[in-house]
Amino acid sequence: MMVIGGTDTSALTVEWAMSNLLNHPQVFETTRQNIDTHMEPSSSSNRRLLKEDDLVNMNYLNYVVSETLRLCPVAPLMVPHFSSSDCVIGGFNVPRDTIVLVNLWAIHRDPSVWDDPTSFKPERFEGRDQLGQYNGKMMPFGLGRRVCPGLGLANRVVGLVLGSMIQCFEWESGSGGPVDMTEGPGLSMPKAEPLVVTCRPREVASELLF
């Protein structure tokens, strides 16, 4: 289940991230500059592809991943829980054996917590930890004892895949216009219309991949 869930959610997160980047060209360019600056070789013979170890130095790329997880959480209602006893949550009486859902989508767009909450602004995470926890208001993987065990793996996979795509290829939407950001139904949160793009290899990809 962990492998299946991690594959689906990570792929959706990359799709949402690329969709947001294509709709925000300046953010896309800043992300690319962050990657290119770190990966700039001393000579052409030293060129290499992005590796997992590089992610710690990719601050802006990490901000993009965090902002995508905030704005487009792929598990918007998280995993259902049962109350083990009668309790009170946020002033509401919750009887024992009640199914409890956390509306992560609403929490991540709460205007009392987030400045301009519906806008894609990766820089909001500057100066914060890479997960941007915001004192419990940012929790794409849950919190506490039941936090998603794949948290670290997911962040590395999404960062590495997205960063490699940006390092190696030029991207544009298949329509040539803005990407439709309508959310689709499901336990996870897919795009209503799958992302369609065109790409062409950059020089680094031509040297290292072909």
Residue numbering of the annotated binding site for heme: 148
The CA distance from 108 to 104, in Å, is 6
Determine the Cα–Cα distance for residues 129 and 126; give it in Å rounded to an integer: 8
Q: What is the DSSP letter of 20?
A: H
CB atoms within 10 A of CB 65: 29
**Cβ atoms < 10 Å from Cβ of 43:** 6
CA distance between the termini of the chain: 35
Inter-CA distances, 200 with 29, 138, 145, 166, 197, Å: 16, 35, 44, 11, 10
Tell me the binding residues.
148
